[in-house]
Structure 1
Amino acid sequence: MTAPVFDLQAIIARLVVYPVKSCAGVELPEVLLTETGLEFDRAWMVVDATGEFVSQRELPRMALIQPTMKHMEMVLRAPGMLALHIAFDRVEKPVRAKVWKDEVAAYDMGDIAAQWFSDFLSEPGKPQVLRLVRFDPEHKRLSNMKWTDGVEAPNQFSDGFPLLVASEASLAELNDKLVAAEHGAVTMARFRPNIVLAGIEAQDEDRVETLHIATTEGEARLRPAKPCPRCPIPDIDPVTAVSTPEVNDMLRTYRANPKVDGAVTFGMNCIVLDGVEHLLKVGQSVGANYRFE
């Protein structure tokens, strides 16, 4: 069989999972692709006393919480805190949790985890009552079908889609502009993608149809669905949790996107078409054709 010829060829440069929504990511050499995205991505979430999710938008110190994925547990570390161990196979009582407009089934992770997050994220004079919840895998939370062309694309606690894809070239373009304006360069951690592509031009991820990834188990196919509108989180330094405006200010000069009512975008939200249970690995080849509209 003749191999398909694509308009562009990339490779997977980085794979990143964000186990706890809005906390730091975990870079991995390989990770299982599931129907909701990368395994364990946004499987946990921090909620307030009403069950509403919280994020770096309100609590920028969440950026300083660093997960590590072990064989049977997740270990969370943060400055000045003892490590918190979360077993993969253990949850406590069922609860309801709210993420944006969706109310979903979840499991509370217990009082020790709740106290840990409340202690670390509280500021002097501003006590936080927070709890950690885990997504109930029996619950089906679908991406907005307006953007998926009618495909049912489940996700867990992500903002709305299973995967976010960005490219090294898009970040390099932004950094060139920041440095020219006498600002410091930034890292990809500010944009929180799951898959970072190398070998393509800046913003090519915006312009392609299906991504075809060559895995050992066969081809995985991801469809770019919606440009990712950026909130204030890219302005937060993931090392210090300090917010300054230069990143979004610069993006506004060249990344206003009419497809999302003029919002600033960076990266593409993607859905999984094929390849569930395939192993994605850094270095795998990715082919795609340009989209004609």
Structure 2
Amino acid sequence: MSAVHVVKEIYIYPIKSLAGISVQSALAEEMGFENDRRWMLIDAENQMITQREHRIMSQFYPQISDGKISITFKDQKHEFSINEHLQNSLEVDVWEDKSEVVEVNHETSKWFSQHLGFECKLVKIMKNGDRKHESSKLKETFNVSLADGYPYLLIGSKSLDFLNDKLDEKITVKRFRPNIVISSQSEHEEDDFNTFKIGEVQFKNIKPCGRCIMVNNDPENGKLKKEPLKTLSKYRNVNNSVLFGTNIVSLNSGNIKVGDALIF
């Protein structure tokens, strides 16, 4: 008998708010998958830069190979070493959290500044503990990356199917920037998961994920649409928060891969 809940897709997003990378396997760590949202763009006032204000960021495509990250934007390409960074640290805000980061290098910051049209820097979070996020629900503090709040976002396939049945223009799961997509039996059942194991890793569900206008940004072309937030708000609005997918944390490190079953 085949497992009901199986990992269908895995994504990492090396640089916050840029396009993601589909992978077949990934190393899960406390902060999130290895190389997932360890980098972020900040402006001249050291404020984080995201697709919420700059939709064009979805058109920057990263790849990882041979210890380097390459970024492609239109017909331009730039690369830097995963381990590369300057020495002086900066303190930046990721929503309500303080995070210690370092700039990657001046040339990379200059390249992004030229293509975004304003001064910015590419920075990196260096180690576990450089940003801590407190769960208001659990009253527990987690070491996290530069993701919005939690290290991992999980989405069940039936949740997307249920939404697409209501949309005139179908969308892909990429709109929601998940880390893990699983096969599921019913819509939004992932909201009620407790603890479960994938591969070598034990995960814990924290809370369903509240969504913002960013899910209306079409990653294929960077254009802002009215959907899916308009439709989701009609049936997934809970306490003025539109929910889709669920935030989870890992309780240990280890590898997971596409095809792994969820063990409850």
Q: So what's the TM-score if we normalise by structure 2?
A: 0.94
1:10 CA displacement: 0.4
Task: Name 1:287's counterpart in structure 2.
Answer: 263
| Matched AA of 1:252 | S
| Matched AA of 2:97 | D
Task: Name 1:230's counterpart in structure 2.
Answer: 211
Map 1:1-293 to 2 at 5 A: 9-81=4-76, 83-93=77-87, 94-122=89-117, 128-137=118-127, 139-147=129-137, 149-178=138-167, 183-213=168-198, 215=199, 218=200, 220-257=201-238, 261-273=239-251, 275-276=252-253, 278-288=254-264
Larger strand proportion of the pair: 2
Verify the 8 A CA contact 1:153 1:272 in the aligned structure 2: no
1:21 CA displacement: 0.3
Verify the 8 A CA contact 2:216 2:225 in the aligned structure 1: yes
In structure 1, C-alpha distance between the alignment counterparts of 2:65 and 2:106, rounded to whole Å: 22
| Matched AA of 2:249 | I
Verify the 8 A CA contact 2:97 2:132 in the aligned structure 1: no
In structure 2, C-alpha distance between the alignment counterparts of 1:131 and 1:171, rounded to whole Å: 35
Verify the 8 A CA contact 1:42 1:156 in the aligned structure 2: yes
Pair 272,152 (structure 1): closer, same or farther in 2 beyond 3 Å: farther
Deviation digits for residues 47-75 of structure 1, max 9, x if unmatched?
A: 00111101000000000111101121111
Q: Does the residue aligned with 2:133 lie in a helix, a strand or coil?
A: coil
1:111 CA displacement: 1.8
- In the alignment of these two chains, the number of paired residues is 261
Verify the 8 A CA contact 2:134 2:140 in the aligned structure 1: no
Long gaps (5+) in structure 2: none
Deviation digits for residues 163-202 of structure 1, max 9, x if unmatched?
A: 1000111111111100xxxx21011111001000113321
1:139 CA displacement: 3.7
In structure 2, C-alpha distance between the alignment counterparts of 1:42 and 1:250, rounded to whole Å: 29
* Superposed structure 1 runs of 4+ greater than 4 Å apart: none
In structure 2, C-alpha distance between the alignment counterparts of 1:65 and 1:52, rounded to whole Å: 19
Long gaps (5+) in structure 1: 1-7, 123-127, 289-293
Deviation digits for residues 114-142 of structure 1, max 9, x if unmatched?
A: 121112222xxxxx111100012154322
Identity of aligned residues (%): 28
Verify the 8 A CA contact 2:99 2:132 in the aligned structure 1: no
In structure 1, C-alpha distance between the alignment counterparts of 2:47 and 2:186, rounded to whole Å: 39
Task: Name 1:4's counterpart in structure 2.
Answer: none
